Amino acid sequence: MLPEMQYARSGDVNIAYEVAGDGPIDLVIVHGWIATIEGVRDAPGFAQFAQRLTSFARVIQFDKRGTGMSDRVTQAATMDERMDDVRAVMDAVGSQRATVMGISEGGVMAALFAATYPERTSALILYGAHATPTFSLETDAEWLEYSEQVRHNWGNEAEARDILSWLAPSVAMDQQAIQWAQKLMRLGASPAAVIALSRMNSEIDIRQVLPSIRVPTLVLHRTGDRGIPVEDGRYLAEHIPGAKYVELEGIDHLFSIGNADEILDEIEEFLTGARHPLEHNRMLATIMFTDIVGSTERAHELGDRRWLELLDQHNALVRKELARFRGVEMDTTGDGFFATFDGPARAIRCALAISDDVQQLGIQIRAGLHTGECELTGNKVGGIAVHIGARVMAHSGANEVLVSSTVKDLVAGSGIKFEERGVHALKGVPDEWHLYAVAR
């Protein structure tokens, strides 16, 4: 079950927050830029990241005023107001002292809070953070041009790809990641709020504050971070008295992907004195990915209302067949489903049934299946087998169920027939793979 969204009153503004876990350490996360609770929740790898955090801490997240589910405001908040918001949330959850973790632009507010309210800050963690502006435009004309670009492009696919190019370059070409980035933008802030936040962030400089921070501090930064250069992390660590600095490999600014476990190891050891990585159980499962063929064109043709109605009908049909064939829905993104099965034959028959069912709606799906060992963390599955399943689907055609050779071999004797689809290189997956289409 998802944590319950609640509200704290900060002056005249309602600040949305949630609490997860019941560990002995209170950990307040200050997200960066437009990142919000609902937007970050579906970020690649975030569910596993959050589960690890909640194993040793009570994790408190909130949406900064003007973003997400918090009240929208007419102008960017001052740093004083934003620090008031942190205190209001801590008061609402009964936290007298907490570790404050600032991520990216959120590091500025976290550092200021730690320096201003040391009696309420037990420790400070800065990840991918900076002390000086990382974005600035020189003239009014440049700001006008930037503002027009935001108003026209905010939330579209091209802008999402651009954001992913620095936020999470390792998944920047992944369609599910692109759809998540679009969702993050829509949920995070309106164009006006984005412009206001950009102006504020272009003026922030906390270099003179850093020597005033007197709480235990951990600074984490990835060497090849394309969002915030590693030099910014080094500067923070050099100028905060007694700060511990850990530099990690990687190019992604998004903390929950890549070597996320190494980041969590450092956080847990810093806060508890020991490292206890979550034990990853493993299981064999058949992975199924589906999506609607030509969904963008169809959505444009139908318009938003009719397209959403069609999606609801599609989702209902998919879930009916998943229940029938004992499939477990793991995720849904836009027009696609990710599910697991305890048997490859059932997975194939489910994919065929879905393909047949949705044609009555005037649409077609494509499906990709692979069987392999998966990492089981809580109620989530991950690992290379999941990536292979997604890549197999990417090669599938309309009304086609495409499977890896592993699936084909495992259903021998089932009566299911296949047609050769050749040898393919699957993006991001080693070796070449024989693929087969299920014969109708």
pLDDT at 225: 96
121 vs 23: CA distance, rounded Å: 17
- Verdict on whether the full-model pTM lies above 0.75: no
For residue 102, the number of C-alpha atoms closer than 13 Å in the C-beta half-sphere is 27
399 vs 92: CA distance, rounded Å: 52
> Please, is 212 exposed, middle or buried when counting C-beta atoms within 10 Å of its C-beta (0-12, 13-18, 19+)?
middle
Domain 6-272: give its CATH superfamily. Answer: Alpha/Beta hydrolase fold, catalytic domain (3.40.50.1820)
Axis-axis angle for helices 157-167, 175-188 (nearest 10): 100
In 157-294, which ranges are continuous DSSP H helix? 157-167, 175-188, 191-201, 230-239, 260-272
Question: Phi/psi at 201 (nearest 5 deg)?
Answer: -65, -25
Distances (CA, A) of 67 to 36, 47, 185, 193, 285: 7, 21, 10, 7, 39
pLDDT at 428: 77
pLDDT at 1: 59
- Show the beta-strand stretches assigned E in 244-399: 244-248, 281-292, 328-333, 336-341, 365-377, 380-382
DSSP symbol at 120 = G
pLDDT at 386: 92
**pLDDT tens track of the chain, all 440 residues?**
578 899 999 999 999 999 999 889 999 999 998 899 998 988 888 888 998 999 999 999 999 998 999 998 767 677 788 899 999 999 999 999 999 999 999 999 999 999 989 999 999 999 999 999 877 787 889 889 989 999 999 989 999 999 999 999 998 888 888 999 999 999 998 898 888 888 887 878 899 999 999 999 999 999 999 999 999 999 999 999 999 999 999 999 999 998 999 999 999 999 999 876 555 567 788 999 999 999 888 888 888 889 899 999 999 999 999 999 989 999 887 789 999 998 899 999 999 999 999 999 999 999 999 998 888 776 678 888 999 999 999 999 999 999 999 999 888 878 899 999 999 988 877 788 999 999 98
229 vs 243: CA distance, rounded Å: 19
Which sequence spans correspond to the domains of the chain?
A: 6-272, 281-438
Other beta carbons less than 10 A from residue 220's beta carbon: 24
Two tokens, residue 87: 């205190």
119 vs 215: CA distance, rounded Å: 9
pLDDT at 430: 77
Distances (CA, A) of 45 to 66, 129, 168, 381: 26, 20, 12, 10
Domain 281-438 belongs to what topology?
A: Alpha-Beta Plaits (3.30.70)
